[in-house]
Structure 1
Amino acid sequence: MPAKPLLIVVGGPTASGKTHMGIELARHYGTEVLSADSRQFYREMRIGNARPTSEELEAVPHHFIADRSLRRPLTAGTYAEEALVLLKALFQTHHVAVVVGGSGLYIRSLCRGLDEFPEVTEGAAARVQGLSEEQGLVGLQEELLRLDPDYYRTVDLQNGRRLERALRVCYASGRAYSSFLGRAAPRPFDCVYLQPAVERPVLYSRIDSRVDRMLKEGLEAEVRSLEAFRHLPVLQTVGYQEWWPYFDGEYSKARAIELIKRNSRRYAKRQTTWFREYTPVANVQAAIRLVDEVVGGVDGPRSGRGT
């Protein structure tokens, strides 16, 4: 068994089966799950963020699920600080813990620390603001493709704030934003990175079915109940942002639903790129075999169970 505790990281695109795999791994190793889904943190959001069911939450202890209000947004850095405190306590009685989620930046912050960026000059900030005002989202996308094609392939291209942030760094430093990413920070645990293996046609079918299920569960009513907070970044995300123009009379409900499915598929494609270095595993048993190889045998992790 390795000297350091082990954090099993289950990432991957939306609807790929991360929740099920994470729970089954936690049950096998007698441990607990930390969510790394940046929208599941909030009590007010349940349907549109595909929060685990009550049965799933009862199967093993979960953390960072509906434990705060969206009035108190949780940044990636603060998430890492809180999660590290929790893991320090958890690893006192468990040798293994599991983190599950599709928010790659939050996982990276927890497992490696946040990257350090150069100070942004007033000139760089003004240049980006001017570009945004004159050419809008398309202009930001085209400029990022020109200056940093690597980051362009992984970032949420519909998230204007992220595009602006990356371009400010590009302009201020004269370097690609992605060149500042991935600088590892030491952690008192080892990580093994997994993702459920699923073919793209199957994944897209699951996404469409999930959206249909969300609609039956009352997604529209949930979003209407949050309309007073529509300006918050956490609600400028897939599954929520598509409703605002419909509520404003700009297009039909059918169009809103069509966009949710389309944007969910696009988001899954970007997540697939982000998690491309994670090891695909066909099922839970394959994941267990891989983890056991890392820790030195089938009985290794089990001996680390809490009492």
Structure 2
Amino acid sequence: MQQLIVIEGPTASGKTALAVALAQALNTVVLSADSRQFYKELAIGTAKPTPEEMQGIPHFFVDSHPISEPVSAAQYEAEAMKLIQNELANCPQLILAGGSGLFIDALCVGLDPIPTDPEIQSKLRAELDENGIEALLSELQEKDPVFFSQVDRQNPVRILRALEVIRLTGIPFSDWRKNEGSERPFEVIRFVINHPRDILYDRINRRVDLMIEAGLIDEVKSVENYRHLTALQTVGYKEVFDYFDGKYTLETCIDKIKQHTRNYAKRQLTWFRRHPETTWLEAKSTSEMCTDILQIIQQ
């Protein structure tokens, strides 16, 4: 059976380098599971791998979609499954690398068939813009206290999605999320790169400084017309929009990006712990971690 080797980890943990090294060792390709690296217009703020970093290894779902056509987890699941079962069907092993837990699970496990309604989506986005998140959080707490207790309350995407389903069906969102999964035609082997917290936070802070030096402010300026899109309601972009709006000085903006990225990394690690079968790799050099993985998958 084909193997899907998953390289997970929080932002700035070294997933790209490890995925490329592993793909070189196994003579295979990398599928990205980073929900913002899909978009052609975003590079610096998404830490998209450069051609030099890819080292000639084919990467799928990097620069694959325009930002004007947002990719949902369900669409990603469908497109990735089609790719694996057709174009990549003869590859004994594939590498899946990224930090977007929902998108990783969409491919590895499958999504519950939860309904959707574009009109309700538009209405909820308008309510968010007009009244802010607090009123929507109150509605969610009243109608689905179970999901309210679990959701990241700083993540409007998840909150809007839950309320969309509740308003459409009258059923709590938590009741729809059975997470039973679907059968897959491949074996999934999951690895998480695990750094000590202080080292991870230092890596994050240094990465943000490098993004600023590389021109993050100009990149955000170039996509300002799309700032209403979900892909840009994320760390590294929304803080710069707030800077443009005069809410922050540039120095405060940079500090906020670092703080919010560290918070995001904590949430990523919490998500990865949902899968007890995952192997947590002690962060070492790329070559050492690659050797560790090869030993495990060849057993």
> Shorter-normalised TM-score: what interval?
0.7 to 0.9
Distance 1:118 1:43 in 2: 28
What's the counterpart of residue 157 of structure 1? 153
Q: 2:214 aligns with which of 189, 213, 217?
A: 217
Distance 1:90 1:274 in 2: 30
Equivalent runs, 1:132-151 vs 2, <5 Å:
136-138=132-134, 140-141=136-137, 147-148=144-145
What's the counterpart of residue 243 of structure 1? 240
Task: State the Cα distance separating 1:161 from its structure 2 match.
Answer: 3.2
Equivalent runs, 1:12-31 vs 2, <5 Å:
12-31=9-28
Distance 1:253 1:132 in 2: 26
After TM superposition, which residue ranges in structure 1, 4 or more long, deviate above 6 angstroms?
128-135
Distance 1:185 1:240 in 2: 34
Residue type of the partner of 1:285?
A: T
Distance 1:249 1:130, change over 3 A: closer
Does 2:287 align with 1:291? no
Residue type of the partner of 1:239?
A: G
SS at match of 2:221: helix
Distance 1:271 1:145 in 2: 23
In the alignment, is the contact (CA less than 8 A) between 1:207 and 1:264 conserved in 2? yes
Equivalent runs, 1:2-13 vs 2, <5 Å:
4-13=1-10
Distance 1:166 1:99, change over 3 A: same
What's the counterpart of residue 286 of structure 2? none
SS at match of 1:98: strand
Distance 1:212 1:131 in 2: 35
What's the counterpart of residue 79 of structure 1? 76
In the alignment, is the contact (CA less than 8 A) between 2:2 and 2:186 conserved in 1? yes
In the alignment, is the contact (CA less than 8 A) between 2:39 and 2:66 conserved in 1? yes
Does 2:233 align with 1:227? no
Task: State the Cα distance separating 1:250 from its structure 2 match.
Answer: 2.1
Distance 2:175 2:264 in 1: 19
Give structure 1 stretches of 5+ with no counterpart. Answer: 294-307
In the alignment, is the contact (CA less than 8 A) between 2:6 and 2:96 conserved in 1? yes
After TM superposition, the score normalised by the length of structure 2 is: 0.85
Task: State the Cα distance separating 1:43 from its structure 2 match.
Answer: 1.1
Residues 75-114 of structure 1 show CA distances to partners (whole Å, capped at 9, x for unaligned) of 1111122111211235433210011111111111112222
- What value does the CA root-mean-square deviation take over the aligned residues? 2.8
What's the counterpart of residue 33 of structure 1? 30
Distance 1:20 1:260, change over 3 A: same
Q: How many percent identity over aligned positions?
A: 40
Task: State the Cα distance separating 1:150 from its structure 2 match.
Answer: 6.6
Residue type of the partner of 1:86?
A: L
Distance 2:171 2:192 in 1: 35
SS at match of 1:242: helix
Task: State the Cα distance separating 1:263 from its structure 2 match.
Answer: 0.6
Distance 1:206 1:143, change over 3 A: farther
In the alignment, is the contact (CA less than 8 A) between 2:32 and 2:61 conserved in 1? yes
Equivalent runs, 1:1-307 vs 2, <5 Å:
4-117=1-114, 136-138=132-134, 140-141=136-137, 147-148=144-145, 152-153=149-150, 155-167=151-163, 169=165, 175=172, 177=174, 180-276=177-273, 277=275, 278-282=278-282, 283-293=289-299
Distance 2:293 2:125 in 1: 46
